[in-house]
């Protein structure tokens, strides 16, 4: 692993000398893309070795993720749907096998354990799943659901397990008399409390919470979150808390990691990240939070385009295809306005967002009365001519080769430590906008 990558995934706390409870190092998970009859054929018409290549494509769901979690803290993991949060959680616990990387729990590598040793270790690491209904067996009574992990690990006798279950049901806010009821008799919030009691039944040290309140009403979310906070204090629990709701993350987390397309893009203490976000994607997420004020107008936090395919993620910074602050290539002398116009024009051409009705119309729409000067202007002019000739693919290729690919955002993976303004922890952001700060830091 490179020195730069070590820095971006380093320790963001000020717990000097303290050993982390959990350390994830370079964790990677790829899935084969086996959908369709011709999934093993990759068509590359411009390849000099032939237009067809036989071999699997891989979905790069999680890519080289590293972080540490210390005893008694909560690390919040946030990102939009499909970014790899749940896959990361399951890979950490080896519910799916990692492709590469290590997961050290109390110094032992979970990724390298045999099945017997891993089974014993699962007593200390538990998981709460997203859907409180499908994660409970409808044919089992609540008491037996909570007792099942204790029985699997040989804890207590039958009477002891029943007593422990009654105690846990009360601690999570349920009536112990619910012991003999079935899951369908409970609301969504009550079912999630049952899941919480089941996770606590084996006295774990670490719990992965995979969007445990996303399926619940807001008022019920607050009750469950408060219960989780109280139980964390009582049992000295450590959480990895996954969510896409930033208000939930802010309520329960000590530190926050932001994930995009399988990679972490920012990691900092909670107050630092919310008050001083340093990655454009993090800022977009924060700006997307609704403001309860009818006087506030306009659209907030809207990103361009769609999330790229994890089968062929962008080179360099994976967010660059949607980033509103993509860095201009150094070989061009452009003003901020000129580069913003070129960036918008390049992306609009790639996505066929307009009709090429004439060269003058295109120039006026994207550049006003004047094109950029020098080589940049000549490239834009040539691209406009290709569009008028209905050569969209050639225009896209020309613009990408001239403006997108030479950018440092496309050439190098970013990983920087940035100055902290709130709290005493460290702040990491995977964005080349901070490359000069890193050099002088």
**Residue 372: how many CA atoms within 13 Å on its side-chain side?**
23
Report residue 310 CA to chain centroid gap: 13
| pLDDT for the residue numbered 41 | 57
Strands (E), 181-269: 206-210, 238-243, 255-260, 263-269
Sequence-ordered list of residues with C-beta below 8 angstroms from that of 55, at least 6 positions apart, any chain: 40, 42
Q: In the structure, how many helices (H) and strands (E) does the chain have?
A: 16, 14
Domains of the chain: 1-124+205-291+298-308+414-441 (3.40.50.300), 134-203 (no CATH), 336-406 (no CATH)
pLDDT digits (tens, 9 = 90+) for 323-382: 999 999 999 999 999 999 999 999 999 999 999 889 999 999 999 989 999 999 999 999
C-alpha span between 328 and 405 (Å, rounded): 10
pLDDT digits (tens, 9 = 90+) for 273-330: 999 999 999 999 998 877 776 776 665 666 777 889 999 999 999 999 999 999 999 9
pTM of the predicted model, to two decimals? 0.88
Tell me the pLDDT of the chain (441 aa) as tens digits. 333 344 455 566 666 668 999 999 999 999 998 765 555 555 555 555 555 555 678 999 999 999 999 999 999 999 988 899 999 999 999 999 999 999 999 999 999 999 999 999 999 999 999 888 888 999 999 999 999 999 999 999 999 999 999 999 999 999 999 999 999 999 999 999 999 999 999 999 999 999 999 888 888 899 999 999 999 999 999 999 999 889 899 999 999 999 999 999 999 999 999 999 999 999 999 988 777 767 766 656 667 778 899 999 999 999 999 999 999 999 999 999 999 999 999 999 999 999 988 999 999 999 998 999 999 999 999 999 999 999 999 999 999 999 999 999 999 999 999 999 998 899 999 999 998 765 444
Rounded-to-integer distance, Cα 36 and Cα 372, Å? 46
Distances (CA, A) of 235 to 164, 207, 224, 342, 419: 14, 12, 16, 56, 35
């Amino acid at each position: 692993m490179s020195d730069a990558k070590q820095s971006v995934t380093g320790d963001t706390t000020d717990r000097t000398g303290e050993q982390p409870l959990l350390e994830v190092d370079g964790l990677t998970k790829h899935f084969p893309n086996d959908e369709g009859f011709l999934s093993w054929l990759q068509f590359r018409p411009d390849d000099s070795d032939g237009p067809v290549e036989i071999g699997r494509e891989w979905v790069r769901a999680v890519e080289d993720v590293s972080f540490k979690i210390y005893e008694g803290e909560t690390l919040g993991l946030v990102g939009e749907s499909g970014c790899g949060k749940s896959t990361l959680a399951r890979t950490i616990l080896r519910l799916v096998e990692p492709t590469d990387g290590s997961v050290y729990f109390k110094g032992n590598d979970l990724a390298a354990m045999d099945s017997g040793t891993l089974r014993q270790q699962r007593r200390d690491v538990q998981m709460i799943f997203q859907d409180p209904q499908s994660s409970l067996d409808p044919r089992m009574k609540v008491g037996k659901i909570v007792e099942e992990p204790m029985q699997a690990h040989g804890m207590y006798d039958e009477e002891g397990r029943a007593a422990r279950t009654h105690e846990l049901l009360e601690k999570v806010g349920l009536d112990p008399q619910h012991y003999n009821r079935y899951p369908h008799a409970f609301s969504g919030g009550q079912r999630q409390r049952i899941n919480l009691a089941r996770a606590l039944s084996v006295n774990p040290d670490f719990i992965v919470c995979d969007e445990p309140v996303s399926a619940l009403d807001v008022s019920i979310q607050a009750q469950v979150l408060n219960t989780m906070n109280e139980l964390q204090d009582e049992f000295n629990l450590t959480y990895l808390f996954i969510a896409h709701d930033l208000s939930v993350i802010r309520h329960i987390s000590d530190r926050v990691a932001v994930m995009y397309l399988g990679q972490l893009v920012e990691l900092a203490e909670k107050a630092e990240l919310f008050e001083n976000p340093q990655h454009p994607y993090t800022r977009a997420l924060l700006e997307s939070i609704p403001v309860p004020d009818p006087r506030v107008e306009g659209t907030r936090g809207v990103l361009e385009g769609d999330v790229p395919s994890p089968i062929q993620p962008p080179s360099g910074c994976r967010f660059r295809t949607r980033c509103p602050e993509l860095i201009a290539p150094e070989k061009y002398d452009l003003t901020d306005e000129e580069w913003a116009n070129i960036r918008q024009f390049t992306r609009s051409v790639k996505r066929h967002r307009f009709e090429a009705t004439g060269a003058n119309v295109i120039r006026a729409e994207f550049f006003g009365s004047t094109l950029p000067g020098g080589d940049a202007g000549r490239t834009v002019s040539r691209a406009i001519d290709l569009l008028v000739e209905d050569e969209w693919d050639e225009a896209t290729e020309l613009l990408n080769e001239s403006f997108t690919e030479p950018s440092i955002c496309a050439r190098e993976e970013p990983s920087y430590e940035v100055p902290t303004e709130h709290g005493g922890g460290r702040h990491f952001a995977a964005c080349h906008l901070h490359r000069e700060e890193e050099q002088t830091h």
